Structure 1
Amino acid sequence: MTNSPAAGPSEEKHILRTSLDRHRDAVLWKLDGLDDEQLRRPMTPSGTTLLGLVKHLASVEYGWFVETFGGAVEPLWFDPYASEDMWIAPDESTDRIVAFYGRARAAADRMIADLPLEALGRPSWRDESVSLRWTLVHMTTETARHAGHMDILRELIDGATGDHRPAAR
């Protein structure tokens, strides 16, 4: 057995970003084909909804990737520190939340592209700095965790399961 050389920084970043994108795409796939009532339906005793998880993930993408590394975050209409990012208000449309997630991803992707993996940032809610590398691993884990929650919620709604769109037949 031979050892392959360690991935270089650009290859490592590509690997980390590809993994994150796979889970991000699964999050959006979990919404496909459902109506507004199904997306907003509380499916757990704590009130977790598919759309609430998307709003939360958008909020944390902005927080970890953009705010932490000194980027400009769009003004939020809710307080994520009061867990308002987990709940969907009656005046928040599905389109608004999905577009918010898209903007958060795009802003995060710009930071990922512009910074080296060793770049340090400091979240306003923590007493220590984190590297972009650490943040990529953390957000991949966070996104995968919530994509798993969404998989269970989706199964309870209509029986659909899986971590990616099935291939067209």
Structure 2
Amino acid sequence: MRPPLAADERTQLIGWLDHQRSLVRPKCEGLGEIDAHRKLLSTSPLMTVAGLVAHLRWVEYSWFTENLLGTPDTGQTPWTEGGHPDAEMFVDDVPLAQLLDEYDAECKRSNEIVAGFSLDDVERLVVRDAGRASVRYILCHMIEETARHLGHLDIIREVLDRVNGD
């Protein structure tokens, strides 16, 4: 569901992000495990339906739990110092249903975290030389990130089984 046409900034930002998030599961419906993990792009072998869902889950975690809340990574994430930069996408042995459930749970946690911050608050964790991102920036970035990967899911589905979405 799209956010109201006339609403405050916070409602609009969270509404658009929630709308993008709500499209991930439908884009995966009806896929078997083989197709969910099928590598179609020789130049981007990690870009599978399952890999994209896993990536979206960990992007949520990274921006909201690690960066915004300042939760240190004590080994709970799939990436490690000096490890593969896309380690979160190595999910060949993880069922798509599990990945989707984890994504939904992460999105719920992200919304709970954001509820405790104003749009002008900034990340507690310093992750870049350019400074700390505001909650407003994070929400805009997550809308862009999620929408971009929804497009990837559309393309992969169309190649797999000619199914595409809105």
TM range (shorter): 0.7 to 0.9
Q: Report how many residues are paired.
A: 154
Aligned counterparts of 1:34 and 1:73: Cα–Cα separation in 2: 35
Please state if 1:40 is matched with 2:37.
yes
Aligned residues with identical type, % of pairs: 33
Aligned counterparts of 1:141 and 1:49: Cα–Cα separation in 2: 19
Shift of 1:55: 0.3
Amino acid at match of 1:14: T
- The answer for unaligned runs of 5 or more in structure 1 is 1-6, 164-169
What residue is the counterpart of 1:18 in the other structure?
A: 15
Shift of 1:76: 3.0
What residue is the counterpart of 2:89 in the other structure?
A: 86
The 8 Å contact of residues 64 and 123 in structure 1, kept in 2 or not, is answered as no
Shift of 1:68: 1.2
Shift of 1:149: 0.5
Amino acid at match of 2:109: A
The 8 Å contact of residues 126 and 132 in structure 2, kept in 1 or not, is answered as no
Shift of 1:71: 5.7
Aligned counterparts of 1:106 and 1:73: Cα–Cα separation in 2: 20
Amino acid at match of 2:39: P
What residue is the counterpart of 1:50 in the other structure?
A: 49
4+ runs deviating over 4 angstroms: 71-75
Larger Rg belongs to? 1
User: Residues 103-133 of structure 1: CA distance to partner in whole angstroms, max 9, x if unpaired?
Assistant: 2101111112121101111445323101000
Shift of 1:16: 0.7
Shift of 1:101: 0.7
What residue is the counterpart of 1:29 in the other structure?
A: 26
The 8 Å contact of residues 24 and 150 in structure 2, kept in 1 or not, is answered as yes
User: Residues 25-52 of structure 1: CA distance to partner in whole angstroms, max 9, x if unpaired?
Assistant: 1121111011111111112112110010
After alignment, is 115-124 or 26-35 more displaced? 115-124
Q: CA RMSD in A?
A: 2.1
After alignment, is 21-30 or 78-87 more displaced? 78-87
What residue is the counterpart of 1:147 in the other structure?
A: 150
Q: 1:77 to 1:96 in 2, by over 3 A?
A: farther
Shift of 1:59: 0.4
Please state if 1:133 is matched with 2:136.
yes
What residue is the counterpart of 2:76 in the other structure?
A: 76
The 8 Å contact of residues 62 and 104 in structure 1, kept in 2 or not, is answered as yes
